[in-house]
A = this chain, B = another copy of it.
Amino acid sequence: MSLSKIATSLGLSVTTVSRALGGYSDVAEETRRRVEAEARRIGYRANPIARRLRGGRSDAVGIVLPTGPGQFGEPFFLRLIGAIGPRLAEAGLDLIVSSARSGSEELALYRQFVENRRVDAMIVARTRLEDDRVAYLTHARLPFVTHGRTRAGGHASVDIDGTRAFHEATQRLIAFGHRRIGFIGAPLDYGFGFFREAGWRSALAEAGLPCAPARFAEPSEENGHRLAHELLAGPDRPTALLCATDRLAIGTLHALGDAGLRPGHDVSVIGYDNSPVSNYAATPLTSYDPDIEGAAGRMLDMLLAQLAGQDGAAMNELRGATLVPRRSDGPAPDRNGQIKSRAISREERSDDERPHDTA
């Protein structure tokens, strides 16, 4: 009872009050002023629920966070939400967040969101190459945008070009003189796991280097630690380890420490995410910054465009990640454990990334 409150106290109809506040042209300026004044006076705010009911929308966007062992503390989602929040608010949309562990529980949650009409659109992260959530949303004809690509495509997506980043990272290590460059990756059914591995593999192939050993697991510090141990224990120990995420890289740095190897000297390590800890790891970690905020902005653009009626199938964007050189990588040691090459100058290793200089 609120539009009607203004209406009765002004001797107008609800219709006119609504149209006055709605900015329609068929209401006299004088009347509009009176309505606006009265609305301000009683602190009128349109009831969004009534508006949604009438409009058949829910004015909300949903996102499901992955929960479960090793999934806690992913800063990625926090940054995503932080970047998306204000823009959604500006567009008058709520962000509804829920959480589920990956798998059937997760898909069930998507179903709930859709069938209960709780959202107008969804944001999908941690996209898999074959993603049942994407398949479901497509079938349900609910607008959505993914962070990451699927194999099939045909939906709105924003992705960081992991292939290019890891290709470049591998080339960097090769230029440093490394020849045995191992890979510590995320499961290959995740798009980001797949594409990052592909970049590493293709760069090795281009350089005519043999395919070095690789290991894969959910990206956690523990797994990075364990997998690095495995790779370091094998024959022909790698002189460099490329890690699909910073969390894996942090674990890897620890494994190096356990083995008495110095990161950046005996074994080079490069991560991905440029997470806050990377600058404060045992050895400050060379990493790739994915510009999550930028990506989130584009995802929002696509979502809003779809809510405005556009077809999302052709909306795709592949963005770059930028290298943040720190101290965990460097020239490969020679057979005797000495630094082999100075082909890349010290400036390029950007010593000014040291923690006490960025404070």
For the complex, give the distance between the alpha carbons of A246 and B280 in Å.
Answer: 12
Main secondary structure of the interface of A (DSSP, over half): helix
With an 8 A cutoff between CB atoms, is A67 at the interface?
yes
User: What 0/1 readout, one digit per residue, does chain A (101-117) give for beta carbons within 8 Å of chain B?
Assistant: 00000000100100111
Given contacts A258-B356, A276-B73, A355-B225, contact A67 B48 (CB under 8 A): no
* Inter-chain contacts of A45 with B (CB < 8 A): 115-117
CB neighbors of B among A34-51 (8 A):
43, 45, 47-50
| CA distance in complex: A229, B356 (Å) | 9
- A277 cross-chain contacts in B, Cβ below 8 A: 73, 221, 250, 277
Tell me, in angstroms, the Cα distance from A147 to B53 when the chains sit together. Answer: 34
Known interface pairs A53-B49, A117-B47; A276-B221 also in contact (CB < 8 Å)? yes
CB of B99 within 8 A of CB of A81, answer yes
Bitwise, A291-303 to B at CB < 8 A (1) or not (0) is 0000000000000
- Number of A residues, CB within 8 Å of B: 64
A266-281 interface with B by 8 A CB criterion:
275-277, 279-281
A86 closest partner in B (C-beta): B99
A355 pairs with B97, CB closer than 8 A: no
* Nearest CB in chain B: distance from A75 CB, A: 3
Contacts of A258 in B (CB 8 A): 355-356
Whether A353 sits at the interface, judged by CB under 8 Å, is no
Bound-state CA distance A112–B281 (Å) is 40
A48 to B359, Cβ gap below 8 A? no
- Given the known interface contacts A221-B276, A355-B251, the answer about A85 and B97 at a Cβ–Cβ threshold of 8 Å is yes
Chain B, residue nearest A99 (CB):
B85
* Chain B residues with CB below 8 A from A67, complex form: 82, 85
Q: A95-B98, A359-B225 are in contact. Are A280 and B250 (CB under 8 A)?
A: yes
Residue picked from A97, A100, A247, A356, most chain B C-beta under 10 Å: A97
The 3 closest A-B pairs by CB, nearest first: A73-B75, A85-B99, A282-B282
Interface, chain A (partner B; CB < 8 A): 43, 45, 47-50, 52-53, 58, 60, 65, 67, 71-75, 77-79, 81-82, 85-86, 88-89, 94-100, 109, 112, 115-118, 220-223, 225-226, 229, 247, 250-251, 253-255, 258, 275-277, 279-282, 355-356, 358-359
Contacts A/B (CB < 8 Å), 27 sampled: A43-B115, A45-B115, A45-B116, A49-B49, A49-B52, A49-B58, A49-B117, A65-B82, A67-B85, A71-B82, A73-B78, A73-B275, A73-B276, A75-B75, A75-B78, A77-B78, A81-B97, A82-B99, A85-B99, A85-B100, A86-B99, A89-B109, A97-B97, A221-B276, A225-B356, A251-B280, A254-B355
With A60-B94, A67-B82, A255-B356 already in contact, 19 other A-B pairs whose C-beta atoms are closer than 8 Å:
A45-B115, A49-B52, A49-B58, A53-B53, A73-B75, A73-B78, A75-B78, A78-B78, A81-B97, A81-B99, A86-B98, A89-B109, A94-B94, A95-B97, A220-B276, A222-B355, A225-B355, A250-B277, A258-B356
